[in-house]
Amino acid sequence: MSFDSARQVEALNQNLAELSGDINVSFEFFPPTTESMEQTLWNSIERLSKLQPKFVSVTYGANSGTRDRTHSIIKDIKERTGLVAAPHLTCVDATPDELRAIAKDYWDNGIRNIVALRGDLPPGADKPAMYADGLVSLLKSVADFDISVAAYPEVHPEAKSAQADLLHLKRKIDNGANRAITQFFFDVESYLRFRDRCAAIGIEAEIVPGILPVSNYKTLVKFAGFTNVKIPQWLHQRFEGIADDDQTTRNLVGASVAIDMVRVLSREGVKDFHFYTLNRSELTYAICHTLGVRPKA
């Protein structure tokens, strides 16, 4: 082996050793709609719980009337795994009195963590009665919850401007939120610039990157359009020619993208990562394993 290639191998080894479990992870799930999806969800929760996430969260479809399912999965997760489990709660589809009653019920059932969101407006809806900053205040008036809120490195699609969006985020933190979890993104620079802008206006809470392991590139492209998420050219190139390939090939490429992103971000000092698992464990587990997040004895 030449001197140069020996140095390259050494650099690679260092790169791999760099992240030996030095990161915290959290996982997001959604309520399943069929029995087989329910089975997949529980298999995933059981497998991923071994990685001792800081918390797991369960989404709630605003305007879908499925809050009870979110609640019952959260209770089951707590009972079956002992993990810290955080329900998502949206305010767009409930009155303040209903929200206070839900919050009290969560607190009385030992739920201390909530992901507080406004939720998407139904088509044609007017200005909402409450934004997420109001929900944070309402929750804090009920009890001292640990609250996560949403943040948008590439700007929320309805925001008047990037600066207005940032000020809204600051209000959520000032009202008592403990951290922000970002919309998924692939342009790492956007996240880093956003984090700098948060720091510059005095947001000290952690801006936890939301990582979406991509297993279906075609669906991603559609979804990214609605959510204002940029698909960089390098991502197109990674998936070019394999959109209809077998799942294993697509998963391997998706995992390598997420691993690269986490590596770069962690070199920039990011310690906490939130994974959008889409209720599947394979990709997220493999990514965490590679990054040194392993089951603890």
Interaction between residue 107 and ligand FAD (CB under 6 A): no
Which residue is catalytic, options 10, 18, 28, 240?
28
Asked if residue 165 binds ligand FAD (CB under 6 A), the reply is yes
Q: Which of 73, 139, 150, 173 binds ligand FAD (CB under 6 A)?
A: 150
Question: Does 11 sit near ligand FAD (CB under 6 A)?
Answer: no
The two three-digit tokens of residue 270, written as one number: 């990011």
Residues 36-55 that bind ligand FAD (CB under 6 A): none
3-state SS record for the chain = CCHHHHHHHHHHHHHHHCCCCCCEEEEEECCCCCHHHHHHHHHHHHHHHCCCCCCEEECCCCCCCCHHHHHHHHHHHHHHHCCCEEEEEECCCCCHHHHHHHHHHHHHCCCCEEEEECCCCCCCCCCCCCCHHHHHHHHHHHCCCEEEEEECCCCCCCCCCHHHHHHHHHHHHHCCCCEEEEEECCCHHHHHHHHHHHHHCCCCCEEEEEECCCCCHHHHHHHHHHHCCCCCHHHHHHHCCCCCCCHHHHHHHHHHHHHHHHHHHHHCCCCEEEEECCCCCHHHHHHHHHCCCCCCC
d(CA 165, CA 274): 21
C-alpha dist (Å) from residue 96 to 101, 120, 146, 279: 9, 17, 19, 31
Q: Which is nearer to ligand FAD, 201 or 242 (CB)?
A: 201
Number of residues that bind ligand FAD (CB under 6 A): 25
Which of 12-20, 156-164, 187-195, 234-242 is the region at the interface with ligand FAD (rule: CB under 6 A)?
156-164
The correct pick among 131, 174, 216, 231 for binding ligand FAD (CB under 6 A) is: 131
To ligand FAD, the closest distance from the beta carbon of 153 in angstroms equals 10
Q: Decide: is 282 part of the binding site for ligand FAD (CB under 6 A).
A: no
195 binds ligand FAD (CB under 6 A): no
Please select the residue that binds ligand FAD; options are 158, 189, 260, 268, rule is CB under 6 A.
Answer: 158
Burial 27-38 (b: 16+ CB within 10 A, else e): bbbbbbeeeeee
206 an active-site residue?
Answer: no
Binding to ligand FAD by residue 159, rule CB under 6 A? yes
168 in contact with ligand FAD (CB under 6 A): yes
- By CB under 6 A, is residue 220 in contact with ligand FAD? no
Asked if 177 touches ligand FAD (CB under 6 A), the answer is no
In angstroms, give the least distance from the CB of 297 to ligand FAD: 31
C-beta closer to ligand FAD: residue 177 or 238: 177
Q: Closer CB to ligand FAD, residue 169 or residue 283?
A: 169
Compare residues 19 and 231 and give the one whose CB is closer to ligand FAD.
231
Query: Residues with catalytic annotation?
Result: 28
Binding residues for ligand FAD, rule: CB under 6 A, are 59-62, 88, 90, 115, 117-120, 131-133, 150, 156, 158-159, 164-165, 168, 172, 181, 183, 210
